[in-house]
Structure 1
Amino acid sequence: MCIKSLRLICIFLIVGFINCGEVHPEKLIVGEMKCSHCSMNIVDMRFHTQIITYKGKRYHFDAIECMNQFQKDKQLRIEKIWVTNYLDQNEFLLKEKATIIQSSKIRSPMGAGFAAFKTYEDSIPFQN
């Protein structure tokens, strides 16, 4: 009986430690969440961005410019920032590894024309 209980406890601890590792971005369903800055529904997933703080609080944004302004206003301790790859709305990129451009060729939800790309080469056709 004691061995069964010990095994069960070990299994729960192992699963718990595995799930305490890397933090990942959340996938959203179009329109299910509002931007943490401007309160617009997030509907164009090419511009969806996320912040997670060191305390584990997650914020979602409909555009990179909303995330930038929110960051300035709130002065949070941020663990990670993810931006969506403009060319693949199912791919999140760490902000520091992404190429972010501002272009009049891009129609972002707030109109500033910011978009994130996996590589600089991917962004070339969209640059002014």
Structure 2
Amino acid sequence: MRLILYSISFFALLLSACNNGPQPITYSQDACDFCRMTIVDKQHAAQIVTVKGRNYKYDAIECMVNDLKEWDRPEADLILVADYTNPGELIEAENANYLISNEIPSPMGAFLSAFSDNNELVLTQEGSGGDTFNWQELKQKFSQQHRH
């Protein structure tokens, strides 16, 4: 009986170690995997989870996009960005809409924010100005810029 309990405990531990999902970002403690700054801004953080389950955390969406330009690690399984109107909530980058507005500073100075709700994006743009992008357009814009 004891052997069965140990076996069940061992397999439960093994399964929990194989979690391929995002990990919580510990704000004010975790460091950006691109620029090494401490991640403090819940409205602009980002995260990549590879197919092998490794997590890369970023203090700004622009750090993640710049890191993806020269990505030489296992393929990304999940690419997540913070939802500007729901601080701390990560959403899939491909489904988000983006705003670059000089009125909304981001940690690395790209003035880049992500939105899950297009209505919130439009309202924010009406008040702050700026240009909107989808994920493909954003990657294209950053591919034309030099790494900073």
Q: What interval of TM-score do these two structures reach, taking the shorter chain for normalisation?
A: 0.7 to 0.9
Asked if 1:86 is matched to 2:115, the reply is no
How far apart in 1 are the matches of 2:83 and 2:61? 11
Paired position in structure 2 for 1:105: 103
**Is 1:123 aligned to 2:117, yes or no?**
no
- Residue of structure 1 equivalent to 2:65: 68
Alpha-carbon offset, residue 33 of structure 1: 1.2
- Tell me: CA distance 1:21–1:123, structure 2 relative to 1, closer, same or farther (3 Å): farther
Q: CA deviation at 1:20?
A: 7.4
Separation in structure 2 between the aligned mates of residue 39 and residue 7 of structure 1, nearest angstrom: 43
Summarize the Cα distance change of 1:21–1:38 in structure 2 as closer, same or farther, 3 Å threshold.
Answer: closer
- Provide the alpha-carbon RMSD of the alignment: 2.2
TM-score scaled by structure 1?
0.81
Q: Deviations over 1:8-40 (max 9, x none)?
A: 6457647755x4787432222321011111111
- Provide the C-alpha distance between the structure 1 equivalents of 2:41 and 2:117, rounded to a whole number of angstroms: 21
The residue identity in structure 2 corresponding to 1:79 is D
What is the identity percentage for the equivalent residue pairs of Structure 1 and Structure 2?
A: 30
- For the 8 Å contact 1:103–1:126, the answer to whether it is kept is no
1:73-111 Cα deviation digits (max 9, x unpaired) = 224311111111111113110111112222222110111
> Match of 1:56, as an amino acid?
G
CA distance in 1, matches of 2:11, 2:23: 24
Q: Which structure shows the higher strand fraction?
A: 1
Gaps of 5+ in 1: none
CA change 1:104–1:24 in 2 (3 A) is same
Aligned pairs, number: 125
Structure 2 counterpart of 1:39, one-letter code: R
Give the aligned partner of residue 114 of structure 1: 112
1 CA distance for matches of 2:103 and 2:69? 26
Answer with 34-43 or 98-107: which moved more: 98-107
